[in-house]
Amino acid sequence: MNLLFIALIVAAGMGLSFEAGLLGPLGEEVGHLWATLSIFGVGTALLWLIRLFSPEGRFTDWNSIPKWQLVGGLLGPIYVVALTLSTPVLGVTMTMICVLLGQVTKSVAIDSFGWFGAQKQASNPLRLLGLGFVGLALCFVYLGAQS
């Protein structure tokens, strides 16, 4: 079962690269903020359609939700604007390896300290080595882009 989730997330990661490849040229064509708005507009419309045809979900009163949990709604547009600005300058590969290093670094910290309600998972030498390899990959991709 874990292999199915791994494959799903790898495919989603490929989707992020595809999105970055689309956002860069779109941002150059219509403006970076308009490109971001279009991506979120299309995504919102799709989610509304899915919601129309999906079983009734659980809705909690917004006032009962801890406000820090809603910060993710702010982070998405910031991420998309960063992709839109960076991809034409750095290219898709460099942009995505930078994203990956940031994601893995923060993920190790979240797991290690149990932030945001995550179950603590102690860092160990293999996890840190994996993080180091992602950093090394960034160096190789950067140097490869320079030649």
Quickly list H helices, 91-124: 92-113
And the tokens for 115? 């932030």
Q: What is the pLDDT of residue 57?
A: 66
Q: Judge whether 142 and 94 are in contact, CB under 8 Å.
A: yes
Mean pLDDT within 63-85 = 85
DSSP 3-state of 39: helix
pLDDT band at 68 (very low <50, low <70, confident <90, very high): confident
pLDDT band at 60 (very low <50, low <70, confident <90, very high): low
Domain residue spans in the chain? Answer: 2-146
95-132 burial by CB neighbour count: b if 16+ within 10 A, else e? bbbbbbbeebeeebeebbeeeeeeeeeeeeeebeeebe
- pTM for this model (two decimals): 0.78
